Amino acid sequence: MTNAFSRTLPGAAVPFLAGVLALFPLRVTAEIIVPLSLDQLAARAELVIRGSVVAVESARDDAGRIFTRIEIAVEETWKGTLATNRFAVVQGGGVLGDRRTTVTGQAEFKMGERAVLFLVLNPRGEGVTLGLAQGKFRVEQDPATAELLVHSPFHGTGATATSRAKSSPGDAAPTRLTLAALKQRVKGNAQ
């Protein structure tokens, strides 16, 4: 008695297909980002700054891994202290020549963009965004009111968005979040 599978695929086809599939490795990834509330971000951050991106450069570390260094022109420091108005933020991944390495959930930085950054410091004293992309709030001006608004993956709707991802525990549904309100919340938490 033969089954349907053996009638449709000759015996040599199964090893052949397995070999073909081996030539095209599958990449399976999963990510779980636990949403942090505004209060958690403020409490866990060693440094909270507002500024503009003035440089984005990728390089290789001593182990050959690609990383990106983002230079921020700091306009305000809301938590922690800085000795200068320039500060380096680093993150894994980047584009170097024809090679691209990505870290899922990582913040993206563009030249000239304005942001509020919730940072922890690595052993070299460079900033690393807290909670991956959660530690970066993009600053945008509302075209209708000229008010400065902020948003991240879990907080605020930004100047042009009408809705965002689900909010984190303890926070209301995503709504407009002004720069002034975020600053007040961070400063209140830092005391």
**3-class state of residue 78 by DSSP:** strand
As a whole number of angstroms, the distance between CA 158 and CA 149 comes to 6
Element holding 127 (H helix, E strand) = strand 127-129
**Strand partners of residue 73:** 52, 86
| Average pLDDT of the residues of the chain | 80
In this prediction the pTM is 0.74
- Does pLDDT of 123 surpass 60? yes
pLDDT of residue 44: 94
Q: What is the pLDDT of residue 17?
A: 45
Q: Which amino acid is at 14?
A: V
> For residue 45, is pLDDT > 60?
yes
Give the mean model confidence (pLDDT) for residues 42-47.
94
Q: Domains of the chain (ranges plus CATH)? A: 38-190 (2.40.50)
Q: What is the pLDDT of residue 12?
A: 58
More confident residue, 136 or 99: 136
